[in-house]
Amino acid sequence: MTDALFSDDTLSEALCALAIKAGAAAMEIYAREVVAETKADKSPVTEADRLGEEIILAGLAAFAPDVPVLAEESASEGKIPELGDRFFLVDPLDGTKEFITRTGEFTVNIALVENGKPVFGVVYAPAINKLFVGGRDGAWKAAVDAKGVISAREVIRARKAPADGLIAVASRSHRSAETDDYLKTLNVADFTAAGSSLKFCLIAEGVADIYPRFGRTMEWDTGAGQAVLEAAGGRVITHPEGAPLAYNKKARGFDNPHFIAWGA
């Protein structure tokens, strides 16, 4: 395997195609009655989670067979490979609660991590036909039509904090009192709720400024969204330490500390 395989264009073509394929499978299930089960960690799982992961893992095995993959449903079953310095992160259906409650705010997430940093990410929201991509060459968004065709790319950039106050975004399903207390310490002009990794994307496209997360998340929840946001000029830092949110935290079981995502 050569480093040329990991150009932004090569990754974009391969990972977007896999995310769109997994998203289409999820939408077929979304169109009928969604049956949810409960995993050992008390989180919900559906047929869409499992089928989407099968599609993505098969595609990644064909695209980059030498690169290990840390994927949510496999990890929940104890299937965790030796990751090394370069690996893919997969969350086949981020926002399973939003999928079950039919808000449309669920996403397919694929990221490439190198040396603890997410360097490329794809976030696809099939119910609202939105695709977000970020890498070394910057970040962009596009619409995806019913045939899975991506429209013209639109470059996105995180914005500087507005003088009249921040737009804060937080989880629709996991907002906490600690989050509200923290936001009270800032000049927040407005608040918006969103599900899944779309919170990172709202900041990346310059319609929100801050996303504090003081509850538990896993690396596959955040890797793709962080890659998009950082490619757009934003940053994701641990709280209260202020260090960049890093990956391959095997000693923590691949969960994240508290963090804050910021715009420019």
How far apart, in whole angstroms, are the C-alpha atoms of residue 201 and residue 131?
10
- Comparing C-alpha atoms, which of 96, 88, 117, 84 is closest to residue 18? 88
pLDDT above 90 coverage of the chain, percent: 80
- Among candidate residues 115, 127, 260, 113, the one with its CA nearest the CA of residue 199: 260
d(CA 79, CA 76): 7
- Helix H or strand E encompassing 97: helix 96-101
Question: Among the listed ranges 38-52, 142-156, 181-195, 246-260, which one has the minimum average pLDDT value?
Answer: 38-52
d(CA 76, CA 234): 30
Assess whether the previous peptide bond of 65 is cis (omega < 30° from 0).
no
Domains: count for the chain: 2
Residue 27 maps to a domain: yes
Q: Return the SS3 of 172.
A: coil
Does the residue 113 lie in any domain? yes
Do 137 and 173 belong to one domain?
A: no
Average model confidence (pLDDT) across the chain: 93
Please state the rounded mean pLDDT for residues 92-104.
90
Inter-residue contact 56 to 18 (CB < 8 Å): yes
CATH number at residue 88: 3.30.540.10
Query: Which domain covers residue 138, as residue numbers?
Result: 3-156
Pair 7, 94 in one domain: yes
pLDDT at 175 over 80: no
Q: Is there a single domain that holds both residue 41 and residue 93?
A: yes
Give this prediction's pTM. 0.94
Q: How confident is the model at residue 3, as a pLDDT?
A: 47
For residue 257, the 8-state DSSP code is: -
Residues 136 and 219 placed together within one structural domain of the fold: no
pLDDT > 70? residue 134? yes
Look at residue 1 and tell me whether its pLDDT is greater than 50: no
Say if strands 166-171 and 188-194 run parallel, antiparallel, or are unpaired.
Answer: parallel
pLDDT tens-digit profile of 203-227? 999 999 999 999 899 999 999 999 9
Q: Which of 130, 156, 182 is the last residue of a domain?
A: 156
In terms of domains, do 15 and 56 share one? yes
Placement of tokens 């939408």 in the chain? 27
